[in-house]
Chain A
Amino acid sequence: MQKVIETLLIGLSTGSIYALMSLALVLVWRSTRVVNFAQAGQAMLSTYIGFEIASRSEIFWLGLVFAIAAGALVGAGVDYFFMRVLFKHATSGPAAVVAPVIATLGLLGLIRSIVGLTWGGEFKSIEAPASTDGFSVGDGTIPFSDLDVLIIATVSIILITVAYIFQRTNLGLALRASAYAPEIAQLAGIRTARTRTIGWSIAGAVGGVAGMLVTSNNFLSPYSLDLLLVFGFIAAVIGGLESMVGSVIGALVLGIGLTFILNYVGTSLVFIGGFSVLILVLLIKPDGIMAKGKARRA
């Protein structure tokens, strides 16, 4: 019984980080109809910047703030300098359909290379802002630490903030309108291009937090966020790319599920488990579990 609770708690902590990544992916998808694979790259860059600040100042939170700021800037920059140029040029021919996808993948590789060239490929670590020891309960310890609590708390705050922005502010309304019906939004006086950049900026900031949180428990390298991207993507697919709530639920479910596999079966099947879930969802309910039967806009 205790093991079940342990697994559940850790799964929650892991899943909440996935939730941030999947949220970022869904944010960008909903505002621009592009799945931004470069998200991992942006998050990586933001995390390295956060790492620099955190290791120099020895304050994790300062690093986090810088990571958020960097994420926002990089996100806005990518939309402004990259995506706009892309959509202006690649508009016809057999490759038009595939161009945005390939372009964001290329961007991922580019950012990774730049990061590698700047910081090198050795593993780096950030000092965690909270203890990573498990809680002691009775005779033994649960491998659920202060850090995990902190992670869940931070993610919850971010999720609530983003939800608030989206549902209760004019900015959020503009973002949603621009995503659902860009022309109507324009006719209502919204500067859709600028709104979109803001959307990317928010997504970038969220990604930066995800990267910092993941790294607080692990090592940082130019490849360390790839798995986060993959699981974030799987979570977003489970929830349905259209739904932010769905992607969060999907992420938690995925996190818990994978942790169960980890604890009860072994590390070997974790990735295969995740991948199988992805294939299953795509085969059975490609719109995601949250889709109320509405057609998915591809």
Chain B
Amino acid sequence: MSGLVVNRLSVSHGAIEALRAVSFSVEVGQLAAVIGSNGAGKTTLLRALSGLNNQTSGSAQWNEREILGARPDALVRRGISHVSEGKSVIAELSVKENLILGGIWRSNKSDTSAAIAEVVELFPVLGQRMSQSADSLSGGERQMLAIGRALVSRPKLLLLDEPSLGLAPLVIEQIFATIDQLRRKLGLTVVLVEQNAMSALEIADIGIIINLGEVVASGRASELIDDPALRAAYLGY
């Protein structure tokens, strides 16, 4: 089937096995929220999917093509963009340069300019700060820049690692609303890794709960929210 199909994926990080036999699937256009506590292996999952971690076994296919073991730059060209955790903008570069970076692999520069223009429409605040150093942006603005850069490469599959990290609650709301909006508008398939389980599940179609490297629950997001046992364990109430 098309979309993202992960089958018994195991990932190691040096000598440590971080993920064990993880399986799930995400249809095209769906948003999957991957939640779990710190150290559960969520970031490792994304790193395996984007090619940063090649110590993998099992399989992961995007639109029926295997993606494990490929180089990150090859996967970008195949439409997979990963916004990594924490600082995912390059502070020493300007906002504009960060955006250009998203399309730097393209040989056709006008495509990139068009994509940047679309991103600026989505995030007008970036347009106002184009020539400023990325250092000078606020936390929320930086997250928008990071996502914006990923969007410049016109991905079909977007991997987001804890976009809410370190942001104020109001900003987090905005970010999630924005993510939901743009994935519907652009028809993106999204894998959203989050500790902020509630907000993530609320905009998600499916949820995958990972604990200590294994999937402990998965299913429709709405069902997961309603399950009292899971609520207690992961949503805190």
Contact = CB atoms under 8 A, between A and B. Distances in A.
Do A and B come from the same complex? yes
Interface of A: 170, 173-174, 176-177, 180-181, 183-192
A173 B96 CA distance: 11
Given A187-B76, A190-B105, A173 B93 contact: yes
Contact of B73 (A176, A177, A184, A186): A186
Nearest to A242: B92
B76 A188 contact: yes
Counting contact residues on chain B (CB < 8 A from A), the size range is 20 to 34
Contacts of A180: 90-93
Interface string B143-157: 000000100010000
B102 interface: yes
Contact of B101 (A177, A183, A191, A192): A177
Interface stretch (B30-38, B81-89, B190-198): B81-89
Contacts of A190: 73, 101, 104-105
Nearest to B92: A180
Interface in B74-128: 76-77, 81-84, 88-93, 97, 100-102, 104-105, 109
Interface string B15-55: 00000000000000000000000000000000000111000
A175 to B, nearest CB: 11
Interface centre among A183, A186, A189, A190 (most CB of B within 10 A): A189
A170 B104 contact: yes
Nearest to A191: B73
B52 A183 contact: yes
B72 A187 contact: yes
Centre residue among A183, A184, A187, A190 by max chain B CB count within 10 A: A187
Contacts of B92: 176, 180
A189 B82 CA distance: 10
A180 to B, nearest CB: 5
B105 A177 contact: no
Contacts of A185: 90, 101
A173 B84 contact: no
Contacts of A181: 90
A184 B88 contact: yes
B162 to A, nearest CB: 15
Contacts of A186: 51-52, 71-73
Given A177-B90, A184-B90, A189 B84 contact: no
Given A189-B77, A190-B73, A177 B93 contact: yes
A188 B104 contact: yes
A183 B91 CA distance: 14
B73 A189 contact: yes
A176 B104 CA distance: 13
Contacts of B104: 170, 173-174, 177, 188-190
Contacts of B83: 187
Contacts of A187: 50, 52, 72, 76, 81-84
CB-CB nearest 3 A-B residue pairs: A189-B105, A189-B76, A186-B72
A189 B155 CA distance: 12
B39 to A, nearest CB: 20
Nearest to A172: B97
7 contacts: A176-B93, A180-B91, A184-B89, A186-B52, A186-B72, A187-B72, A189-B73
Given A173-B101, A183-B84, A184-B88, 11 more contacts: A170-B109, A173-B97, A176-B92, A177-B90, A180-B90, A180-B92, A185-B101, A186-B71, A189-B76, A190-B101, A192-B73
Nearest to B100: A173
Contact of A188 (B51, B71, B105): B105
A162 B47 CA distance: 35
Contacts of B81: 187
A182 to B, nearest CB: 10
Interface string B125-168: 00000000000000000000000010001000000000000000
B160 to A, nearest CB: 12
B192 to A, nearest CB: 16
